[in-house]
Amino acid sequence: MLRATLRSVLSRKLRLVLSGLAVVLGVMFVAGAFVLTDTLGRSFDNLFTTVYAHTDVEVTAKPKVAVAEADGEQVPANLPAAAVADVLGVPGVADAYGLAMADGARVIGRDGKVVSSAGAPQFGTNWTDKDPTVHLREGSRAPAADTEVAMNAALAEAAGLAVGDQVGILTLAPKKTFTLVGIFGYDRDRDSIGGTHVVAFTEPVAQQLMLGEPGTYTSIQVTADDGVPDGTVRDRIAATLGDAYQVKTGEQAAAEQSANLKQFLTFFNNILLGFAGVALFVGVFLIVNTFSIIVAQRTRELALMRAVGANRRQIVGSVLLEALLIGVLASLLGLGAGIGVGGVMARLAASFGGDLELAGLGVPATAVIAAFTVGVLVTMVAALIPALRASRIPPMAALQEAATPDRPLTRITVIGAGVFAAGATTLGVGLSGVGDATLWTVLAGVLVSFVGVALLTPVIARPAVSLIGRLFSWSVPGKLGRLNSGRNPRRTAITAAALMVGIALITGVTTVLASATTSLTKIVNEAVQADLVISGLQTGPRPPTFDPAVLDRTAQLPGVEAVAGGSFDEALVDGDRTGVAAVSDMGALQRIAMLKPTAGRVDALADGQAALDADRAARDGITVGQTVTIQLSRGEPHTYTVTGIYARNEMIAGWLLPPSATRDFGIPQPVQAFVTVADGTPVPEVKAQVAALLADSPEVSVGDREEFVAQQTSDVDTVLVMIQVLLALAILIPMWTPCW
Amino acid sequence: MTPVAARAVDVWKVYGQGEAEVTALRGVTVELERGRFTAIMGPSGSGKSTLMHCLAGLDEVTRGEVYIGETRLAGLGDTGLTRLRRDQVGFVFQQFNLLPTLTAEENILLPLAIARRRPDPAWFTTVIETVGLGDRLSHRPSQLSGGQQQRVACARALITRPDVVFADEPTGNLDSRSGAEVLGFLRTSVRDFGQTIVMVTHDPNAASYADRVVFLADGAAVAELAGPTAESVLDTMKRLDALAAVA
Test B93 with A399 for CB contact under 8 angstroms.
Answer: yes
pLDDT of A469 reads 75
Neighbouring residues of B45: CB distance < 8 A, sequence distance ≥ 6:
none
What percentage of chain A has pLDDT greater than the value 90? 15
pLDDT mean over B45-66 = 89
Which uninterrupted H or E stretch holds A321? helix A312-352
A385 within some domain: no
pLDDT for A183: 94
Taking CB atoms and an 8 Å limit, are A308 and B111 in contact across chains? yes
Residues in A touching B87 (Cβ below 8 Å): 309
Whether A269 is covered by a domain: the verdict is no
Looking at the complex, report in whole angstroms how far the Cα of residue A453 sits from the nearest Cα belonging to chain B: 34
CA distance to partner chain B, nearest, from residue A293 (Å): 18
Strand partners, A563: A675
Phi-psi sector, A517: left (phi>0), alpha (psi -120 to 50), beta: alpha
Is the model's pTM score more than 0.80?
Answer: no
The pLDDT tens digits for B76-106 are 888 898 999 888 999 998 888 888 888 999 9
> Taking CA A94 as the corner, what is the angle to CA A92 and CA A96, rounded to the nearest 5 degrees?
115
C-beta of residue B9 within 8 angstroms of C-beta of residue B65: yes
Percent of chain A having pLDDT more than 70?
A: 91
Q: Is residue A619 part of a domain?
A: yes
Burial of B135 (0-12, 13-18, 19+ CB in 10 A): exposed
Q: Is A4 on the interface with B (CB under 8 A)?
A: yes
Q: Find the helix packing angle between B121-131 and B104-114, rounded to 10°.
A: 140
Name the B residues in 98-157 with CB < 8 Å from any A CB: 99-102, 106, 110-111, 113-115, 156
Distance in Å from the first CA to the final CA of chain A: 27
Q: Rounded CA gap, A712 and A718, in Å?
A: 12
pLDDT of A360: 75
User: A346-360, A424-438, A674-688 — which one is most confidently predicted on average?
Assistant: A674-688
CA-based nearest distance B213→chain A, Å: 22
Q: Which has the closest alpha carbon to A287: A28, A505, A33, A26?
A: A26
Strand A219-224 versus strand A93-99 pairing type: antiparallel
Q: Which helix (H) or strand (E) holds B130?
A: helix B121-131
| Yes or no, beta carbons of A308 and B106 under 8 Å apart | no
C-alpha atoms less than 13 angstroms from C-alpha of B234 in its C-beta half-sphere? 7
Using alpha carbons, select from A502, A485, A504, A505 the residue that is nearest to residue A733.
A502
Which positions in chain B touch A395 (Cβ < 8 Å)? 58, 85
Q: Do B58 and A399 touch (CB under 8 A)?
A: yes
* pLDDT of B8: 92
Amino acid at B33: E
Asked if residue A250 belongs to a domain, the reply is: no
- A738 has a pLDDT exceeding 50: no
**Is position A368 within any domain?**
no
- Average pLDDT, integer, range A264-291: 76
Residues of chain B neighbouring A4 (CB-CB closer than 8 A): 99, 101-102, 106, 110, 113
ipTM here: 0.88
Confidence of residue B59 (pLDDT cuts 50, 70, 90): confident
User: Among the three residues A192, A214, A243, which one is the final residue of a domain in this structure?
Assistant: A243
The gap from C-alpha A200 to its chain's centroid, in whole angstroms, comes to 31
A313 interface with B at CB cutoff 8 Å? no
Residues of A in contact with B101 (CB under 8 A): 4, 7-8, 10-11
Residue of A56, A103, A97 lying closest to A79 (CA atoms): A97
Q: How many residues in chain B?
A: 247
Question: In what helix (H) or strand (E) does residue A691 lie, and over which residues does it extend?
Answer: helix A683-693
Give Cβ neighbours of residue A557 (< 8 Å, ≥ 6 apart).
Answer: A686, A689, A690
- Contacts of residue B73, defined as CB under 8 A and 6 or more positions apart, other chains included, come to B57, B61, B65, B66, B67, B81, B84
With beta carbons under 8 A apart, name residues in chain B contacting A10.
Answer: 101
**B187–chain A Cβ distance below 8 A for any pair:** no
Contact A311 B78 (CB under 8 A): yes
CA distance A216 to A26: 52
pLDDT in tens, A93-109: 889 999 999 888 889 88
Boundaries of domain holding A678: 532-703
A617 inside domain:
yes
Contact between B114 and A394 using a beta-carbon 8 Å cutoff: no
- Kindly state the greatest CA–CA separation across chain A: 100
DSSP A620: H
Q: Are strands A219-224 and A57-61 parallel, antiparallel or unpaired?
A: antiparallel
Residue A488, pLDDT > 90, answer no
| Residue A631 DSSP label | E
pLDDT computed for residue A567 by the predictor: 92
pLDDT given for residue A514 in this prediction: 81
Instruction: State how far the alpha carbon of A577 is from the alpha carbons of A68, A633, A653, B94, in Å.
Output: 11, 11, 15, 83
Strands lying side by side in the sheet with B63-68:
B22-33, B4-15, B63-68, B71-72
DSSP 3-state assignment of A213? coil
Domain end call among A225, A243, A261 = A243
> pLDDT at position A67, please?
66
A257, burial (CB in 10 Å: exposed 0-12, middle 13-18, buried 19+): middle
Query: What pLDDT, on a 0 to 100 scale, did the predictor assign at position A611?
Result: 93
In this complex, the residue of B53, B82, B93 whose CB is nearest that of residue A311 is B82
What is the number of structural domains in chain A? 2
Task: Determine, for residues A4 and B106 on separate chains, whether the beta-carbon distance falls below 8 Å.
Answer: yes
In a domain, A526, yes or no: no
Of A11, A309, A396, the CB nearest to B82: A309
**CA dist B193 to A260, A388, B158, B184, Å?**
82, 39, 10, 14
For A34-59, what is each residue's pLDDT tens digit?
Answer: 888 888 888 888 888 888 888 889 99
* Residue A736: per-residue pLDDT: 55
Q: Mean per-residue pLDDT for A539-568?
A: 87
Give domain status of residue A328, yes or no. Answer: no
